[in-house]
Amino acid sequence: MARVTISTTPDQLRSGIQPSAEEARTYCAQLEAGDILYIPGMPFEIPPADLDFLLGRRQSGGRLHKNIAYRANEDRITGFAEDTPGDAARLLQIMRDYSRNATKTLSAILSPYQQRWNLDFASYRPLEEENRDLTLHKRNDLIHTDAFPSRPTNGDRILRFFTNINPSEPRKWMTTTPFNSLAGQFAGKSGGCPLPTPHGSSAFAKTAFSMKKALASAGIPITPRSPYDDFMMRFHNFLKENSTFQKDCPKQYDDFPPNTCWMVYTDMVGHAVLSGRYALEQTYIVSKEAMVMPEKAPVRILEKMVGAGLVVSS
Ligand SMILES: [Fe+2]
């Protein structure tokens, strides 16, 4: 894995210049191989008054006590306790702007995807990550691959765009080998994390999955989950629970300085956040059909290991 710097400069991106089609395809391929795409500056402006608003929360008595989520599809904020009337509306506007700017940037750099993604949550992460008091499965400082308990992807990809808005401190990451290597080592009975049961392609499983999806879209609190999603959630927990892996796995350290952005497929890159506070982030669920190197996707790697389909077509 490597950190790849986008050759189109932040200023060029701001003025609407985007990578050529060939460069963009290479960027997609590098992301899909487990590289981190890095923008060494800000490809869009966050107005100073908005930054002051976000950073000013550090003096406000700790009311911002957890991550703040912006649900783009519903255009609303969760996880925010308002100090002053009007703060929630202000924060909503800032997060809405960030989400739109991140998406515009991603659309320019990763043009081969043609926006074949669903906009997931954006977040503001105001708390210091070092020594953060979280339960084991929620800890960010343990290496893991991402899976969302409440938002299964059915084989689609989790792509995250990050921005460090800390005025003076880097955000420090640690990464390890990508998913193909981790799965080769740990997926399966001998590795410690049993492979998924390949029932995803049976007629019964398809019907059950479609029914659950219909109930979920009607507001019934049910989460349709494919065998792939089951495995990815178990694998996330397995890696965090495995103290030998945490201690002995190959490690690479990456610092992301203030006012820089980076993007990564966090469902395949084993990653942890060691320190840093004040980061913005937007998540995209990218269609598995949009991949330029589909064979590198975790779902394909697992299906090859199992010898059967692990997602459910609706
Ligand atoms: Fe993560």
Let me know: does 144 contact 246? Beta carbons within 8 Å: no
> In a structure prediction context, what are the per-residue pLDDT tens digits for the chain, which is 314 residues long?
799 999 999 999 999 999 999 999 999 999 999 999 999 999 999 999 999 999 976 434 444 445 788 999 899 988 877 777 788 899 999 999 999 999 999 999 999 999 999 999 999 998 888 887 788 888 889 999 999 988 999 999 999 999 999 999 999 999 999 999 999 999 998 899 999 887 645 566 667 667 777 777 777 766 678 999 999 999 999 999 999 999 999 999 999 999 999 999 999 999 999 999 999 999 999 999 999 999 999 999 999 999 999 998 76
Question: What distance in angstroms lies between residue 265's CA and the mean position of ligand 1's atoms?
Answer: 10
Show me where the domains of the chain are located: 3-176+253-294
Question: What distance in angstroms lies between residue 202's CA and the mean position of ligand 1's atoms?
Answer: 32
**According to the model, what pLDDT value does residue 65 have?**
47
Distance of CA 276 to the CA centre of its chain: 17
H-type helices in 56-202, by residue range?
87-109, 179-186
Q: Long-range contacts of range 203-209, CB-CB < 8 Å, 24 or more positions apart?
A: 205/312, 206/312, 206/313, 206/314, 209/312, 209/314
**According to the model, what pLDDT value does residue 206 have?**
64
**According to the model, what pLDDT value does residue 128 have?**
83
Question: What distance in angstroms lies between residue 145's CA and the mean position of ligand 1's atoms?
Answer: 6
**Domain covering 3-176+253-294 assigned CATH 1.25.40 in the classification:** no
Question: What distance in angstroms lies between residue 34's CA and the mean position of ligand 1's atoms?
Answer: 14
Question: What distance in angstroms lies between residue 157's CA and the mean position of ligand 1's atoms?
Answer: 13
Nearest to 120 by CA among 93, 146, 85, 81: 146
Widest Cα–Cα separation across the chain:
57
Nearest to 233 by CA among 314, 302, 133: 302
**According to the model, what pLDDT value does residue 134 have?**
81
Q: Tell me the one-letter amino acid at 175.
A: T
Neighbours of ion ligand 1 (CB under 5 A): 146
Question: What distance in angstroms lies between residue 144's CA and the mean position of ligand 1's atoms?
Answer: 6
Question: What distance in angstroms lies between residue 211's CA and the mean position of ligand 1's atoms?
Answer: 30
Question: What distance in angstroms lies between residue 271's CA and the mean position of ligand 1's atoms?
Answer: 6
Element (DSSP H or E) covering residue 272:
strand 269-275
Let me know: does 262 contact 256? Beta carbons within 8 Å: yes
Question: What distance in angstroms lies between residue 272's CA and the mean position of ligand 1's atoms?
Answer: 7
Between CA 44 and CA 14 the distance in angstroms is 5
H-type helices in the chain, by residue range?
10-14, 21-32, 48-55, 87-109, 179-186, 203-217, 227-241, 243-248, 298-306
Between CA 308 and CA 153 the distance in angstroms is 18
Question: What distance in angstroms lies between residue 86's CA and the mean position of ligand 1's atoms?
Answer: 32
Instruction: Show the tokens assigned to 298.
Output: 């975790």
